[in-house]
Amino acid sequence: MSLKKIKVFAPASVSNVGPGFDMMGFALNKPGDEIEIILNGGSEIKIKKISGDNSVLPYYIDKNTATVAIQSLLKKYNIKTGLDIVINKKMGIGSGLGSSAASAVAGVFAVNKLLNLKLSKYELLEHAIAGEFIASKGIHADNVAPCLFGGFVLIRGYDPIDIVQLDYPKNLYCSIVYPDIEIKTCDARAILDKNVPLKTAIAQAGNASGLVAGLLTKNFDLISRSIVDHLAEPKRAQLIPCYNEIREAALSNGALNCNISGSGPSMFAFSISKDKAQKIGRAMLRSVVKGGLKGRIYVSKINDKGPVVLK
């Protein structure tokens, strides 16, 4: 029997992961976004309700990342169908945790299942990227790809896009602190240098290669010393109040390293046990609170599943 409605969860993600600007990311178990899609029997796509967004996201289907991604998918396969869409944002907008990517991924994943299109995740990827473009004003997949595929992802190239799923130590834990401020991805990208010195590029490539090698060989010391970003973090750190204090709190409590998640303001830290990850998260949050901000923490292993059908 064909489905009439579907509800999907798509996870948050950490992108860049230090030196992997626009080319590395991994999915989290939480937080994430939920989208419910219902066949309405007509021909229009309508966003019926958005919750958890503090009333800031657009209901216009040409401006919302979820519906832009869905429209891209339906247009390519010449599908005309009416859909009612309910979006439940379960993470902060502009948090640096791939909020717009999660909505785009949830949308195309749900439509693929609802209409029984049987498209591969690779076939869904281009449409999720199209949705993400609305928020970031750039083509990048380091949130979309891990959210869609799950696990730890390397985007080797964009023309054509080449996704490599990396092995990693299964006892790797991530602590996330999310200071309650918004940083728009397009603004965080605008402050970056368009050109970098050769010496800087070499150092960045070395760290990116070292991080991949450390993950594959389960060498925690190599992972630790490779999570250094010479391109984005020096610029974006100025956008995050208490950046230095958060980083110091993580390192002094045993983190392998600490860095900005995506465009920020969220920051992540790796460790190798749940207890240590929780301790690190609490310490990072204390730094946020001491700086006069509200915040929240998440502790998660890397999510291997990506999006899932809830009902």
Pair 177, 163 in one domain: no
SS3 32: strand
What's the CATH number where 187 sits?
3.30.70.890
For the chain (311 residues), the mean pLDDT of every run of 10, in chain order, is: 85 96 95 96 94 89 96 96 96 90 96 96 95 75 96 94 96 96 86 94 97 98 97 94 96 98 95 97 97 95 96 68
Please work out, in degrees rounded to the nearest 5, the angle formed at the alpha carbon of residue 256 by the alpha carbons of 278 and 215.
110
Q: Could you give the residue ranges of the DSSP H alpha helices within the chain?
A: 65-76, 99-114, 121-136, 144-149, 185-190, 198-217, 220-226, 233-236, 243-252, 274-290
End-to-end CA distance of the chain: 15
Annotation says 185 is catalytic: yes
Pair 92, 208 in one domain: no
Residue from 185, 200, 233, 248 carrying the catalytic annotation: 185
Residue among 121, 125, 44 at smallest CA distance from 82: 44
Chain centre distance of CA 234: 20
Pair 116, 62 in one domain: yes
What's the CATH number where 129 sits?
3.30.230.10
Predicted pLDDT at 137: 66
Pair 178, 73 in one domain: no
Pair 65, 117 in one domain: yes
Element (H, E) at 15: strand 5-16
Pair 276, 141 in one domain: no
Pair 21, 141 in one domain: yes
Number of structural domains (the chain) is: 2
Boundaries of domain holding 180:
173-301
Pair 21, 101 in one domain: yes
Pair 181, 122 in one domain: no
Predicted pLDDT at 136: 66
Pair 122, 229 in one domain: no
Pair 145, 200 in one domain: no
Annotation says 233 is catalytic: no
Predicted pLDDT at 138: 65
Question: 29 with 149: CB under 8 angstroms?
Answer: no
Pair 33, 157 in one domain: yes
Residue from 132, 182, 233, 245 carrying the catalytic annotation: 132
Tell me the C-alpha distance between 91 and 50, whole Å: 13
